[in-house]
Every structure is written in C-alpha cells, then in structure tokens.
C-alpha cells in the first residue's frame, strides 16, 4: 500500500512534462494520492490534459491564480468531486521578461506588483481557499517551490528573487498561523532545472553549468529528486516539519568559496 493511499491533493503549475509540478505529481500519484490539477488559459489545456489524464481518477480545472473567482471555483469543484483535500502544491511563478532582463534598479511598478501577485500572494490566496477542505480532512500539507535567489543576489534572477523572498516569508507566516489547525506549510528550494519558466532567466544555461561545477555532488538536481522531496513534505514522514525551506540543490547552497 502506498504512503498516500486514500489521500487527495491539488497541484498548481503543470505546463508540460518538464515542469517541476509534473515531477511532483508523479511522485505523489505513485504513492496512491488522487490528484486535481489546474491549467492557466486554453492555450495549454490540451497538452496538460494529455499528461494529467495518464494518472488515475485525476481532475483538471482552469485557474489563473490572479483571479479570485476562478480560485473559488477550483476549490468548490475539488470539494464536490474529491470530497476531501490533504495537500496543495504551489509551483507557479511569473515575472515580465523586461523586468527580469533589465537592470534591477529599473524594475517597473506594474511588473513588481504582477510578479508578487502571481509568485507570492497566490500562495496565501490558494491556502486560504484550501483551508475549509483541509479542516474537513483533519489537516493538510502545503508545498511551494522557491530558489536560492530569494536569499542571495543571483545575476539574472532580479525581480523573481524579490518575489521568492516574499514567498518564503509567506511560507513561514502561513506555517505559524495555521500550525494550530494541523496545516503544515513548507518550501523546496530547488537547484536550476531546464523548464519553460527557467528559460525566461537570462544566462540560465551558464547558471546550470556553474551549479553543476560548484555543487558538492558535482551535478544538477534531477526532476525526480524534486518530486521525491515534495513527496516527503506532503507525506506523514515529515509530520514534525513546518515553516521550512528545504534545499534540493545537490548541496550548492552550503558552499562558500
């Protein structure tokens, strides 16, 4: 019997088979969790459906995380169709290309707002919408995806680093707020992986090479390793852990010189 048999979860952020969210979904499904997924806009619907329909009894719903009505609809449908909710995976981020590429000092007000809305505030909004369902299930586990650029200034990461700092602080405040309701909130700080979102970062290929050279394990992290770490954080194996940012980066963050 799988670790997550009889449990249900919702995964935000599958765009294609290289998405970190898809690696996580596969790990959760392998352990018996029934999953709901969301896609943003019609553009990706068919390709996301082709993936998610390969998992048993999955549900696929539209959701732009900046739209409160769509967020409310998603959790209404999850309640109606899955009847319970035990976990939420937040694997969503966006910043306008110009604001990532320009000098940081030239970040636009609009870009700053949008990046924080999609990449950080959405964690609060989604967790709030999931809360009544978590309470029905006796608790829940939330996992978000972040990057080292939240802690250190990483060339090319710019505005996204500031939004990730906000996301990581939101993880801690949500964990402190919701711990008494048996809801755990953690983040995985993943090393660089070549995904659709990553291609928006200028110099990303150089970043991959640099990480592989400097990381103690002398390589980049595999998608499956991020999936397995999320499985740990979702499962009862991590029942004593909340409010943490866990690095899954082949050790890159521990190295000084």
Residues classed as catalytic: 147, 157
Question: Phi/psi at 29 (nearest 5 deg)?
Answer: -65, -40
Nearer to ligand NAP, 108 or 182 (CB): 108
**Interatomic CA distance for residues 223 and 201, integer angstroms:** 18
DSSP string, 164-179: HHHHHHHHHHHHHHHG
Q: Which of 59, 93, 133, 185 binds ligand NAP (CB under 6 A)?
A: 93
Q: How far is the CB of 146 from ligand NAP (least distance, A)?
A: 6
Nearer to ligand NAP, 131 or 201 (CB): 201
Q: Which of 94, 134, 157, 252 binds ligand NAP (CB under 6 A)?
A: 94
Please, which of residues 148-177 interact with ligand NAP by CB under 6 A? Answer: none
**Segment interacting with ligand NAP, rule: CB under 6 A, options 10-18, 54-62, 99-107, 231-239:** 10-18
Question: Phi/psi at 138 (nearest 5 deg)?
Answer: 85, 10
Q: Does 92 bind ligand NAP (CB under 6 A)?
A: yes
> Binding marks (x or -) toward ligand NAP, 128..147, rule CB under 6 A?
-----------------xxx
Burial class (CB in 10 A: 0-12, 13-18, 19+), 138: exposed
Nearer to ligand NAP, 183 or 193 (CB): 193
Q: How far is the CB of 47 from ligand NAP (least distance, A)?
A: 10
Q: Does 66 bind ligand NAP (CB under 6 A)?
A: yes
**Interatomic CA distance for residues 249 and 11, integer angstroms:** 22
**Interatomic CA distance for residues 15 and 196, integer angstroms:** 8
Question: Phi/psi at 14 (nearest 5 deg)?
Answer: -85, 120
Nearer to ligand NAP, 138 or 209 (CB): 209
User: For residue 31, how far is the Cα from the chain centroid?
Assistant: 19
Rg (CA), the chain: 17
Q: Does 124 bind ligand NAP (CB under 6 A)?
A: no
**Segment interacting with ligand NAP, rule: CB under 6 A, options 64-72, 100-108, 176-184, 237-245:** 64-72
Judge contact between 78 and 10, C-beta under 8 A.
yes
Q: How far is the CB of 38 from ligand NAP (least distance, A)?
A: 7
Q: Which of 120, 175, 193, 245 binds ligand NAP (CB under 6 A)?
A: 193
Q: Long-range contacts made by residues 207-214, C-beta under 8 angstroms, separation at least 24?
A: 207/154, 207/156, 211/249, 211/250, 211/252, 212/250, 214/252, 214/255
Using CB under 6 A as the criterion, which residues of the chain lie in contact with ligand NAP when the complex forms? 13-15, 19-21, 40-41, 44, 63-66, 91-94, 118, 145-147, 190, 192-193, 195-198
């Amino acid at each position: 019997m799988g670790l997550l048999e009889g449990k249900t979860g919702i995964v935000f952020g599958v765009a294609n088979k290289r998405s970190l969210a898809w690696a996580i979904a596969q790990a959760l499904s392998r352990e018996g969790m029934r999953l709901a997924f969301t896609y943003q806009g019609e553009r990706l619907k068919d390709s996301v459906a082709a993936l998610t329909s390969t998992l048993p009894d999955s549900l696929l719903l539209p959701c732009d995380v900046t739209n409160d009505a769509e967020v409310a609809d998603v959790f209404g449908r999850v309640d109606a169709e899955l009847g319970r909710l035990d976990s939420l995976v937040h694997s969503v981020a966006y910043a306008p290309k110009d604001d990532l590429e320009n000098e940081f000092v030239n970040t636009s007000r609009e870009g700053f707002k949008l990046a924080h809305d999609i990449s950080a505030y959405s964690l609060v909004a989604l967790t709030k919408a999931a809360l009544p369902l978590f309470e029905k299930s006796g608790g829940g586990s939330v996992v978000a995806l972040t990057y080292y650029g939240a802690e250190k200034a990483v060339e090319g990461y710019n505005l996204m680093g500031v939004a990730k700092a906000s996301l990581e602080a939101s993880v801690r405040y949500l964990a402190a707020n919701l711990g008494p309701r048996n809801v755990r909130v953690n983040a995985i700080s993943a090393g660089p992986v070549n995904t659709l979102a990553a291609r928006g970062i200028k110099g990303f290929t150089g970043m991959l090479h640099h990480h592989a050279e400097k990381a103690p394990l002398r390589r980049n992290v595999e998608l499956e390793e991020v999936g397995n770490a999320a499985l740990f954080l979702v499962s009862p194996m991590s029942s004593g852990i909340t409010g943490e940012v866990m690095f899954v980066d082949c050790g890159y963050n521990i190295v000084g010189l």
